[in-house]
Amino acid sequence: MTPYAQRPLIAVGLMLLATVFIAGTTLLAKALGTDTLGAPLHPLQITSARFAFAFMGIASVAAVARLKIGKIHWPWHIARTILGGTGVTLMFASVAFIPLSDATAISFMNPVFAMLLAIPLLGERVGPWRWLAVVLAFAGALILLRPGMGVIQFGALLALGAALVLGFEIIVIKRLSSMEPAFQILFVNNCIGMLLIAGPAFVVWTSPTGAQWAAMAALGLMMACAQACFVNSMARADASFVVPFSYATLIFAALYDGAIFGVWPDGISILGAVTIIAGAVLLAWRESRARRPLVPRAPET
């Protein structure tokens, strides 16, 4: 397969568009998990709709593009889907209890968890800069948990659990991405997710309102669009350059939450979010430095 030409500006635009869609999915999940559009739906039901409608969107593109499916590594796909589905469900559950901005900020812990998990699972070595990134990210998460203001927020713990599970998913994706094309991974992942979550979702299923059906369809299609934008962005620029722009998700989540639900981030939320993002950016910077080939200097004359 011919690689895409490097187009940094297009990559940034695609990544920012992905963040608009990602923040939109959390907004819709919050609307579905609260009484905004009708009786609150169970997070498993929301996740089921997310996979089903996302698969329909991706399958439509695959049919038009005549996608050819190569060898499928089923154990890795099933593991990735279970982890991703669990993480997304926990994330959808968390936004019913805490502001979107807080849940989104805590979700940025997933690359930090992935780095920690890579030590025992992938045998990677971690230097002092990476440990500093971990300390910063965990400090930010601790701020958002608000332990000094009474009971620790249940929604924040759900979001932290989501970040941990999604960190495991990143480890699996690293392995899977070296074996199969990106679009095939998306196609198979959403197909398996749709089938696996159908049973548990049926147990808790309640009849959605017309507005909830529309929101669930929009959630799934927006997730498919977000995945497509993200993959194409990563294909057109170095990851170390384009990934930091994904943190714009936090800005859009805060704007959506304020405009729709009237919930704006307070000083503690901003401090926690900035601290987590500082750790994530430091980690991304260190990763880029670690992967950058050393260019020998010309001898002085």
How confident is the model over 159-182, as pLDDT tens digits?
A: 999 999 988 988 888 788 778 887
Residue 119 belongs to a domain: yes
d(CA 71, CA 191): 15
Predicted confidence at residue 287, as pLDDT, reads 65
Whether residue 301 is contained in a domain is answered as no
Q: Is the pLDDT of residue 149 over 60?
A: no
156 found inside a domain: yes
Full-model pTM: 0.80
Q: Residue 235 carries which side chain, given as an amino acid letter?
A: A
- Selection from 274, 2, 4 nearest residue 139 by Cα: 274
**DSSP code for 177:** T
Q: What is the mean pLDDT of the chain?
A: 84
| Domain enclosing residue 33, as ranges | 8-288
Cα four-point dihedral sign 222, 77, 79, 282: negative
Does residue 192 sit within a domain?
yes
> Does residue 165 form part of some domain?
yes
Q: Is 295 within a domain?
A: no
In whole angstroms, how far apart are CA 21 and each of 45, 92, 179, 205, 208?
Answer: 20, 15, 27, 26, 23
Asked if the structure places residue 2 within a domain, the reply is no
Q: What is the pLDDT of residues 37-89, one digit of tens each?
A: 999 999 999 999 999 999 999 999 889 988 888 899 999 999 999 999 999 99
% of the chain with per-residue pLDDT over 70: 89
Q: Where are the alpha helices (DSSP H) in the chain?
A: 8-33, 43-65, 74-94, 100-107, 110-122, 128-145, 154-176, 182-204, 210-235, 239-242, 248-256, 267-291
Q: Identify whether 1 is part of a domain.
A: no
Percent of the chain at pLDDT exceeding 90: 35
Q: What is the number of domains present in the chain?
A: 1
